[in-house]
Amino acid sequence: MNRDDVEIIEKKTKFKGFFRLDCYRLRHRLFEGGWSEVRSQEVFERGNAAAALLYDPDNNAVVLIEQFRPGAFTSDRGTPWLVEIVAGMVEDGEDVEQTIRREAIEESGSTILDIVPMVNVFASPGGSSEIVSLFCGRVDSRDVGGIHGHAVEGENIRVIVEPADIAFKRLRSGDIHNAIFVIALQWLEKHGDALRQTWLVQSTG
């Protein structure tokens, strides 16, 4: 099936601010044939995002960030301060690579020296159109740390440099609660050795 198998009866914007909430009345074709009943579906529109796992191949370390997340707070499950990878919304006039290079500096003080795409994923397709473009970014983790973020946007971000092996152990223990962080670490665990060798050869070549 494809987009032609969906019929939009009505679309209304219920809220428009920094984000937008649209309400659709629609129906779609059924696997067994025919059409579904007309139903209402709200879609949260926040644009697309880019994220990167910052990796230092020379020290086999990852650069992570920790910050307060209101969604985690209202869930009432564990601490609302989450350890994550750098990420941000794609702004007008930017492509996803430009976005993540900007966010790496803003959120962690790190300059991405080289970049490899991982995967593009829907963040929550049941109710949002947002697509997150994931990357692995090469950085130099020496002298990286401190507190970063834009105070006017309420950002208070702590930078963490951690050996990759420790991050993999935390992944397997279930200690990571951010979906794109999980995906990125799984990717690095699978492809990290080959990527590290490639980047180290490039450095010596």
Q: What is the pLDDT of residues 33-86, one digit of tens each?
A: 999 999 999 999 989 999 999 999 999 999 999 999 888 899 877 789 999 999
* Averaged confidence pLDDT in the chain: 93
CATH second-level architecture of 49-204?
Alpha-Beta Complex (3.90)
Spatial separation of the C-alpha atoms in residues 178 and 128, rounded to whole Å: 17
pLDDT at 204 over 80: no
What's the confidence (pLDDT) of residue 203?
72
What's the confidence (pLDDT) of residue 192?
93
Q: How far is the CA of 28 from the CAs of 5, 36, 88, 127, 163, in angstroms?
A: 6, 5, 33, 16, 48
Q: Please list the helix, strand and coil fractions of the chain in percent, rounded to the nearest 5, in that order.
A: 30, 40, 30
Contacts of 17 (CB under 8 A, 6+ apart): none
For residues 146-153, give the mean pLDDT: 84
CB 143 within 8 A of CB 56: no
122-141: pLDDT as tens digits: 999 999 999 999 999 999 99
What's the confidence (pLDDT) of residue 205?
60
For residues 169-180, give the mean pLDDT: 92
The residues carrying an active-site annotation are 153
For residues 8-27, give the mean pLDDT: 94
What's the confidence (pLDDT) of residue 168?
96
Q: How far is the CA of 31 from the CAs of 1, 2, 34, 122, in angstroms?
A: 9, 12, 8, 22
What's the confidence (pLDDT) of residue 117?
97
What's the confidence (pLDDT) of residue 180?
95
77-116: pLDDT as tens digits: 778 999 999 999 999 999 999 999 999 999 999 999 999 9
Kindly give the pairing relationship between strand 81-84 and strand 39-45: unpaired
Delimit the CATH 3.90.79.10 region(s) of the chain: 49-204
What's the confidence (pLDDT) of residue 70?
87
SS3 179: helix
Please give the helix or strand (H or E) that residue 88 lies within, else none: strand 86-89
- Res. 151 pLDDT band, cuts 50 70 90: confident
Is the pTM higher than 0.85? The answer reads: yes
